[in-house]
Each structure stands twice: as structure tokens, then as C-alpha cells.
Structure 1
Amino acid sequence: MSYQYYHSNLHAVLVSSYEDLKAFLIRKFGCQLLAEDVVQETWLRVNQLAEPRTVAHPRAYLFKMAANLAIDHLRSEKARKRHISVESAPEDISNGMPLPDRVIDYQQRLAILRRAVDELPPRCREVFLLHKFEDCTHAEIAERLNISRNMVEKHIIRGLAHCRDRLQQAIQ
């Protein structure tokens, strides 16, 4: 089997499996940005393979490669966060106040969340606010608004997803 065939075969499988691979990574790790980055990195790794090898199941090979790359990424991110928190700890502890850049970051995120909540449909916003800010249970909200508990859960999930999406869009 030639080098060109090996690469074009893996590329063809990667192209045809792109959406499936991305969906798999989102389900497994819960982050669309990570999934997109890992699929791109998988593409780069396939391009960097120096020696042709026979791969009996190229799709399974690519999914395993992508899962391993995602795990490596998460591990390095976790290590980076530990390193950052250790470095910034003395400044935070010294006077008990958060650093000014963190205050600004929190204020910006709060403004984004306020706008996101305002964008929700009225009933969804009402359910979301009752649950998150008045600590009402699903049963209490259902009774209070005369809707099913299932509908309460749907509104809360929709509100959380919308807020998460808005924060992710702002970070990009």
C-alpha cells in the first residue's frame, strides 16, 4: 500500500466522518470548541504521519486518535489552570480581594448573562429566574405557573443552553 493511498484513504474517511466525529467528541467531552479543535488537530496529525501503515478500520482509528487528542488537551488545560491558580494565589490572598482583571472579566460575563436572560422568551425567562434566583423547585414552579414539571425542566434546559451559548460566543 502506498503512502499516498494511506493518506488519501484516511483523509477520505476523515472528511466523510467529520460531523460524526465532531458529534462524538461533543457527546464525550461536552464542548463544541474542544471538538472542533480536536477534529482539526486530528487532520493535522494525519497529514504528519510519516510512514504508511495498514489500518484495518480507518474510521475507528480516527475516532480513537481524536479521543486521545481530546484527553491530552484536557489534561494539559487542567495542568495549565493549576499552574495559573498557584501563581496568582499570593495576590488574591494578600488582601482578600479579587484581582482587577478578574473583576472586569466577571462584570463582562455578568452583563452577557443579563442580556442572554433578557433574550429568552417570556415564559422561559420566568421559569429560569424562579429556579435560578428564587431557588424554587421544579414542582413549585410547575404549580405556581400551572404548567407541567416536564415543561419546567425544558424551560430551564433551554435557558441554561442559551446562556452557555452566549458566553461561548462572547469568548470566541
Structure 2
Amino acid sequence: MNSSNLDSVFISQRTSLLRTLLKIVKNTSIAEELVQETYLRVARTVRDKPIDHLEPFLFQTGRNLALDHLRRERMQSRTMLDDVPNEVVEAVAAPASSSEDSLHAARLLQHLGSALDQLSSRQQRIFVLSRLHGMSASDIAAELGVSPSTVQKELKLIMALCVTLIERLTPAQ
């Protein structure tokens, strides 16, 4: 399969591929970007090895990219920012902040690290799996052999500890 065959298949299937990806990501501009990324990925693959069934490969590549996009979005939405009040988030030093703000942020991270060190090993594991690996409460529960409600309660306690610590160390404005 050469690139001219890819071009003809892509052009004939572009609209259908776009509709398929739009159903998955529910955003026209993202679906358009994924269609273009699909073409680039398939073109790279075709250059390296022949693809016998190009049309299904094109659609599968597009679906995989769309699902990867949704996973990344879900991971980003599971940040600690969801659990912290806006005032606290706004008080965290920006990258181009003054040295005083940077010092405060470094101190805050150090205290937060110390607070997390005081958690039980199970609580630390729950925190890491949830906030760093983006796992759901039910997945964490299955991995640790506890109930999902136990994981949710532990996460609530951990987040409350973090918020309390941040509020205590962040000066009122």
C-alpha cells in the first residue's frame, strides 16, 4: 500500500471518519484534529510496513486516538484542583512569580509532602493511585482489596488534610 492509495482512501472516508470521531469526543474541532492526526499516524505506518486493509486500519487508528484523548481528559479532570477551593488555587504561586511567592510555594510543597508522609501506607497508596495515576475509586478498591466507599472516605480525609494545610499556610489576602 503506497501513499497515493492512502490519500484516495482517506479522501473518500474523511467525512465518515470525522462523524465517527465526533460521536466519540463530542467536539467538532477536536474531532477535526484527530482526523488529521489519524492521517499522519497511518501515513507513518504505511511508510514502514504494508497495510492490507487500509480502511479498517484508518478507522481503528482514529478510534484509538479518540479514546486516548478521552482518557487524557479524564486524567486531567481528576486533579487535586477539583477538591480545592478556588481561593486556595489562586493563592498558589504562578511560574513567573516573585521569589517570595516561589519560596512560599516551595514551603507549601514541603509541608504538604510532610503531611502526606504522616498518612498510613494504605492512604499514601490511595493518594498516589488516585491523584498521580488517575485510577477510579472502584479500581483502587479492587487493587487494594477494600470497598470503593472505603477508598472514597480515605480520599476525602486526605483531601481535607491537604486543604487544611494549604489554608493554614496560605496568608489571607
TM-score category, normalised to shorter length: 0.3 to 0.5
Q: TM-score normalized by structure 1? A: 0.45
